[in-house]
């Protein structure tokens, strides 16, 4: 039996919220996502603190997360809900 369904693997990437690097150690990715950075994450962002009338920005850290997602698709030359059409 020929395989008529060729699922596409999609990688969905996201980044967690920017926080002080010292606090980022325990940051978790959303459910279903895998953390691909470790320790305090990547210091590539800034977070903001409002102090009275001023907003100050500080360098912070965030984690990068990925989620693998299989998207069902028919192989080339096939179509339809059961991928039987040619």
Q: What gap in Å lies between CA 44 and CA 80, rounded to an integer?
A: 45
Residue 15 falls inside a structural domain: yes
Residue 77 falls inside a structural domain: no
Q: What range does the domain containing 33 cover?
A: 8-70
**Which one, of 6, 2, 1, lies nearest residue 75 by Cα?**
6
**19-61 confidence digits (pLDDT tens):** 999 999 999 999 999 999 999 999 999 999 999 999 999 999 9
pTM attached to this predicted model:
0.71
CA angle at residue 44 from 55 to 67, to 5 degrees?
115
Residue 34 falls inside a structural domain: yes
Q: Is the pLDDT of residue 3 over 80?
A: no
């Amino acid at each position: 039996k020929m395989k008529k369904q060729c699922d596409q693997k999609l990688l969905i990437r996201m980044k967690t919220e920017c926080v002080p690097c010292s606090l980022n150690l325990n940051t978790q990715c959303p459910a279903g996502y895998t953390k691909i950075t470790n320790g305090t994450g990547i210091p590539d962002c800034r977070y903001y603190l409002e102090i009275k009338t001023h907003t100050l920005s500080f360098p912070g850290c965030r984690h990068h997360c990925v989620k693998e997602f299989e998207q069902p698709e028919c192989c080339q030359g096939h179509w339809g809900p059961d991928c039987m059409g040619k």
